Structure 1
Amino acid sequence: MGILIEIGSFIKLQRTKQEMTLGELSEGIVSVSYLSKIENQKTQASPEIIQLLCNRLGIEVDNSQEEAIKETCKQWYSMLFEVNNKEEIIATYKKIQEMMDRNLSDSLMMFEIHKVRYYLILGEYDEALKKINELNEVSSTFDNLQQFYWYKFRGNYSTLKDSEYYQSMRMYKMAEEKINQIDVSEEEVADLNYIIAVTQSKLRNTLETIEYANKALNVFMKQYNFIRCAQCHNVLGISYRRIKLYDKAIKNFNLALHLGKLNKNRQLIQLTNQNLGYLYSSKGEPVEAIKYYKEIIFDTEVSLVERLASVSSLVREYYNIEDYEEAKKSIKYGLELIDQFNDIKPYKIFYYVIHTYNYLLSERFTDFENMVVKNFIPYLKKHKDYASIIIYAELIAKYYEQLYKYKDAAKYYKEANFAYEQITNI
């Protein structure tokens, strides 16, 4: 898309970013209605008018560095794609931003769209949303390639910020529809297939998960991208576990573990250990499950989230085998990990798990009941996490049964049965 076609969107973007009204920008240069037409691509203004509007916005009309900008942007997009060193990503971002501030570039809109991904990598969700809202004003002018990334990154936002997997899937599917109309690498398509597989997995659409994970895996295998292969094997392992094809699940997890060790990638190794823990828990082998969870919880090389996920699982396993002392120790550690989060909202499930068992084991029964009935189960229903609904609906049902509250107990056993039916309806 050429610079003259994009200029209206560029001006609108810069004006809204600077919180300037149409009247303030147009005063003494053009009429408000004419500026509106320029911004909405309904007319092409003369270079003189563009110069005056850019001067008022504090932007120089100079594209002498266009090739350098394109090349630096390309490097930066690649960094975001693979999620490299954050300091390097930030330094390159600042370098590009300085060039963009001095030059009116063809790469401007794609750079602005990639800022959504950039903010997500840094965990700056409010900035990502602000950028989405800003770009929404000009999104009708995006070409097919820009729309591909626009939908993809908005899907990323819905997943990372709100765990809104249905919204994420809608965005990813819209990005997928653009693939035949654009020129993107096979690896880029494989990445989209992988994140669709992960999202389908979150939505418990097991057969679709297997289909998309295999599509992605075929490409990553051809490219000898072992890290991405391992990620696909993990997703496949989870899917086979859910449909009780345990041998296939173990085979995929062992492949993921082997590739993780080959690349000395602690994050990947421990993610696979977490999945193996879930598998043995599903098979009704808690001692084996605990062995894998304990591999992870004190490994400071892996993310805080992975450690918290493992501690949550460990608490549940210890509780189930009635080792309440170990469960209490794990809860204490889990609460310490929760305190280290700036924003626990994306990982609220682990917060609920730790507090549920904490209230139960410390005999704070009113808090336990309120937590599960008013907060935890509604949260799980909202996210359609049927596997967890079974666990915690049964937990509260047994609690009510012990209190001879049979009507309440029956209600939650019914909830658990309904959730089980949803899971078996693959």
Structure 2
Amino acid sequence: MVEIGSFIKLQRTKKEMTQGELAKGIVSLSYLSKIENKKTDASPEIIQLLCTRLGIQLKDGFDASIQEKCKQWYNMLFEVNDKEEIITTYNELQEIMDTNLTDSLLMFEIHKIRYYLILGKLDKALVKINELNEMADSFDNLHKYYWYKFRGNYNSASGFFSQAMQLYKLAEEKSNRIDIEVKEIADLQYTIAITHSKLRNTLEVIEYAEKALDIYMKEYNFFRCAQSHIVLGISYRRIKMYEKAIKNYNLARHLGELNKDKQIIQLTNLNLGYLSSAKGDSKDAIHYYLQVVDDPEVEQNARLTSLTALIKEYYSINEIERTKEMIKKGFELIGTKDVEKHKVHYYVLNTYSYAINEQNNQFEKIVINELIPYLTNHKDYANIVVYANMLGNHFEELGKYKESVKYYKLANLTYEELVNL
């Protein structure tokens, strides 16, 4: 049986019962505390009385029907299926778990971290992490694998990629000690590749993306193959191996077209835009960005990402009227309800709007007090260079040379840090 004391504590807190309410007439308060903190082994009779008061049945060992339903739900989370179906199945499982204490409960609780992340509820994911942390020392290697992986997912979603990488490497180490499906191994390798990409560890990206790609090809998982090719393309672009980058992007686009997957096709176009811009070919960059921006079937964030890239491109070649058009389109796409969700895009749109309209005070305020701190917090060094240089140029034009030097220096130091990553 799982660590019973930890689960009594878990169920008690979920039901918002105090220790006194649970212990009354069964055991002393201090003895319940010892049970919950695994400092003593209570008799089966006492455990049964506590479980009865909690309204749960104590089941011994393996329960095939519960485990099978859990497995179905875990697979939904792995593939990120229809959210309504995920929520419905979760509610059904939660009802079972609320009245049964089984060996499936711990894995179910750990998978809740992933569940909350899929729903975009980072605050609830953190509460679950803190809740489970108290019993983490009782986890076996399989539990620890998912514990590390999903905590890594949480840190990635929060923009803390260094911490995420440490957790993913711990999960990788545990994966060598357990029997897991090959698709799970590939998923971890792909996730590590993505995280290395966020950290600009280019050679490591290539290593892990190729490992994942090898498995995805054998499994005929064309969607994941396409994603791996895009990640490889990004890495080759960063080290200026443009032909290899284009080859990977074209392979990704081909797979996207075979599967009629608009998201993959347009993600490829976005990255071909970045590549063209890096090569100084604004005409091609604009062409690729517009493909994404003008496609209503593409998800909102991808369109906004392409749109802000397009704004930078138009602004850099002094196409001011086109820049204004794209800024207006960006604000319309975000609307009034999604500002917090797309905060960085909102900052960028305002930055260029203020710059074009020579609203100097607003421009300085948003870039210095909002945008650069946001980028710093998320370790987005490439964009810190862009906007620090933009500020430097702005102050230079105003004759504020001391401020100008300050931000040119920030851009140079950040670029050096970016190169050394």
TM-score normalized by the length of structure 1: 0.94
1:226-245 → structure 2 map (5 Å cutoff):
226-245=222-241
Residue 390 of structure 1 and its aligned partner are, at CA, apart by 1.8
Q: 1:16-73, CA deviations, whole angstroms, 9 ceiling, x for partnerless residues?
A: 2223222221121112232223223333333322221112212233569921111111
- Secondary structure at the counterpart of residue 181 of structure 1: coil
Q: Is the 8 A contact 2:61 2:103 kept in 1?
A: no
Q: Does the C-alpha gap of structure 1 residues 224 and 7 become closer, same or farther in structure 2, counting only changes over 3 Å?
A: same
Please state if 1:392 is matched with 2:387. yes
Residue 185 of structure 1 and its aligned partner are, at CA, apart by 1.6
1:184-263 → structure 2 map (5 Å cutoff):
184-263=180-259
Higher mean C-alpha displacement, 379-388 vs 184-193: 379-388
Q: 1:202-242, CA deviations, whole angstroms, 9 ceiling, x for partnerless residues?
A: 11111111111111111111111111111111111111111
1:99 counterpart letter in structure 2? I
Q: 1:258-304, CA deviations, whole angstroms, 9 ceiling, x for partnerless residues?
A: 11111111111111111111111111111111111111124332221
356, 359, 363: which is aligned to 2:354?
A: 359
Residue 342 of structure 1 and its aligned partner are, at CA, apart by 4.5
87, 91, 115: which is aligned to 2:88?
A: 91
Tell me what 1:144 maps to: 141
**Matches of 1:214 and 1:202, distance apart in 2:** 17
Higher mean C-alpha displacement, 22-31 vs 311-320: 22-31
**Matches of 2:130 and 2:81, distance apart in 1:** 26
2:230 counterpart letter in structure 1? N
Q: Is the 8 A contact 1:338 1:344 kept in 2?
A: no
**Matches of 2:119 and 2:282, distance apart in 1:** 36
Q: Is the 8 A contact 1:250 1:276 kept in 2?
A: yes
Q: Does the C-alpha gap of structure 1 residues 40 and 64 become closer, same or farther in structure 2, counting only changes over 3 Å?
A: closer
1:376 counterpart letter in structure 2? L
Alignment size in residue pairs: 421
Q: Is the 8 A contact 1:277 1:288 kept in 2?
A: yes
**Matches of 2:186 and 2:62, distance apart in 1:** 32
Please state if 1:108 is matched with 2:105. yes
1:338-357 → structure 2 map (5 Å cutoff):
338-339=334-335, 342=338, 344=340, 347-357=342-352
Residue 349 of structure 1 and its aligned partner are, at CA, apart by 2.7
**Matches of 2:328 and 2:212, distance apart in 1:** 40
376, 384, 408: which is aligned to 1:381?
A: 376
Q: Is the 8 A contact 1:65 1:103 kept in 2?
A: no
**Matches of 1:102 and 1:11, distance apart in 2:** 12
Residue 381 of structure 1 and its aligned partner are, at CA, apart by 2.6
Q: Is the 8 A contact 1:12 1:138 kept in 2?
A: no
Please state if 1:7 is matched with 2:1. no
**Matches of 1:302 and 1:163, distance apart in 2:** 23
Q: CA RMSD in A?
A: 1.8
Higher mean C-alpha displacement, 216-225 vs 21-30: 21-30
**Matches of 2:134 and 2:108, distance apart in 1:** 16
Tell me what 1:421 maps to: 416
121, 125, 140: which is aligned to 1:124?
A: 121
**Matches of 2:263 and 2:317, distance apart in 1:** 28
Structure 1: segments with no counterpart, 5+ residues: none
**Matches of 2:335 and 2:33, distance apart in 1:** 49
Q: 1:148-185, CA deviations, whole angstroms, 9 ceiling, x for partnerless residues?
A: 1111111111222x211122112212212211222212
161, 166, 173: which is aligned to 1:170?
A: 166
Tell me what 1:48 maps to: 45
Tell me what 1:156 maps to: 153
**Matches of 2:221 and 2:407, distance apart in 1:** 46
Q: Which runs of 4+ in 1 moved over 6 A?
A: none
71, 74, 78: which is aligned to 1:74?
A: 71
**Matches of 1:242 and 1:147, distance apart in 2:** 34
Q: Is the 8 A contact 1:151 1:171 kept in 2?
A: yes
Tell me what 1:297 maps to: 293
Residue 341 of structure 1 and its aligned partner are, at CA, apart by 5.2
Tell me what 2:23 maps to: 26
Q: Does the C-alpha gap of structure 1 residues 122 and 214 become closer, same or farther in structure 2, counting only changes over 3 Å?
A: same
Q: Is the 8 A contact 1:62 1:102 kept in 2?
A: no
Residue 343 of structure 1 and its aligned partner are, at CA, apart by 6.6
Tell me what 2:366 maps to: 371
Structure 2: segments with no counterpart, 5+ residues: none
265, 268, 273: which is aligned to 1:269?
A: 265
Q: Is the 8 A contact 1:17 1:134 kept in 2?
A: no
Q: Is the 8 A contact 1:315 1:330 kept in 2?
A: yes
Higher mean C-alpha displacement, 6-15 vs 235-244: 6-15
Tell me what 1:326 maps to: 322
Q: Is the 8 A contact 1:60 1:101 kept in 2?
A: no
Q: Is the 8 A contact 1:13 1:138 kept in 2?
A: no
Tell me what 1:35 maps to: 32
Residue 257 of structure 1 and its aligned partner are, at CA, apart by 0.8
TM-score normalized by the length of structure 2: 0.95
